[in-house]
């Protein structure tokens, strides 16, 4: 419990929001460090280190979600800031109950690394399978623009790359 509290305290100090600067515009995200401290710590650590810079949205499914965070651009790569994978953090107040939910991509229980996605519709079947760690609060039109781009039928990869240029992180209480 003390380790969890220490992690939560560290995460609270880390960040309350982030801005994904993409080639199609900015996406502003409110993070949830109190509810999922390690997940936010991982995302913020990668963001501040420039890990996501240049990454493409490698998987786009219209009416469902947009996914990024794979350094290979294939959906098969990436790891946490600690190396390897880390555990899920489910919180009863954080559900896939609305569009613009920011959640970790994974390959099964406790396999979180660096990849994440943003939903464009409610996706309740993902609850307790993917860790929700944020909500888009501004730039929804950018998320929609990305979700509507043409993709390869075989692998859902956009025909034209949409990149994360950089990610700006703001401390909790600093506003969006």
Contact status, residue 137 vs residue 30, Cβ threshold 8 Å: yes
Which of 106, 115, 116, 133 is catalytic? The answer is 106
Which of 86, 116, 117, 133 is catalytic? The answer is 117
Which of 46, 58, 59, 96 is catalytic? The answer is 59
Q: End-to-end alpha-carbon separation of the chain, Å?
A: 30
Q: Is 130 a catalytic residue?
A: yes
φ, ψ (nearest 5 deg) of residue 124: -60, -25
Which of 21, 30, 48, 64 is catalytic? The answer is 64
Question: What are the residues whose beta carbons fall under 8 Å from the beta carbon of 24, sequence distance 6 or more?
Answer: 142, 145, 146, 162
What 3-state class would DSSP assign to 45?
helix
Contact status, residue 105 vs residue 115, Cβ threshold 8 Å: yes
Which of 28, 46, 130, 135 is catalytic? The answer is 130
Q: Is 133 a catalytic residue?
A: no
In 10 A of CB 86, how many CB atoms? Answer: 21
Q: Is 67 a catalytic residue?
A: yes
Which of 20, 31, 94, 126 is catalytic? The answer is 126
Q: Is 126 a catalytic residue?
A: yes
Which of 14, 42, 58, 67 is catalytic? The answer is 67
Element at 13 (helix H, strand E): helix 2-14
- Positions marked active-site: 59, 64, 67, 106, 117, 126, 130
């Amino acid at each position: 419990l003390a380790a969890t509290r220490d992690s939560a305290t560290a995460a609270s100090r880390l960040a309350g929001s982030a801005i994904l600067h993409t080639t199609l515009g900015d996406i502003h995200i409110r993070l949830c460090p109190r509810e999922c401290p390690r997940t936010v710590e991982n995302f913020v650590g990668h963001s501040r280190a420039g890990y996501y810079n240049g990454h493409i949205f490698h998987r786009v499914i219209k009416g469902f979600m947009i996914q990024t965070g794979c350094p290979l651009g294939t959906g098969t790569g990436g790891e946490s800031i600690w190396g390897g994978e880390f555990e899920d953090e489910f919180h009863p107040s954080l559900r896939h109950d609305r569009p613009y939910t920011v959640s970790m991509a994974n390959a099964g229980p406790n396999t979180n690394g660096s990849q994440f996605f943003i939903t464009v519709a409610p996706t309740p079947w993902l609850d307790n399978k993917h860790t929700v760690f944020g909500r888009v609060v501004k730039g929804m039109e950018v998320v929609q623009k990305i979700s509507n781009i043409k993709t390869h039928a075989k692998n859902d990869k956009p025909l034209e790359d949409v990149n994360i240029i950089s990610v700006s992180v703001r401390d909790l209480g600093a506003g969006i």
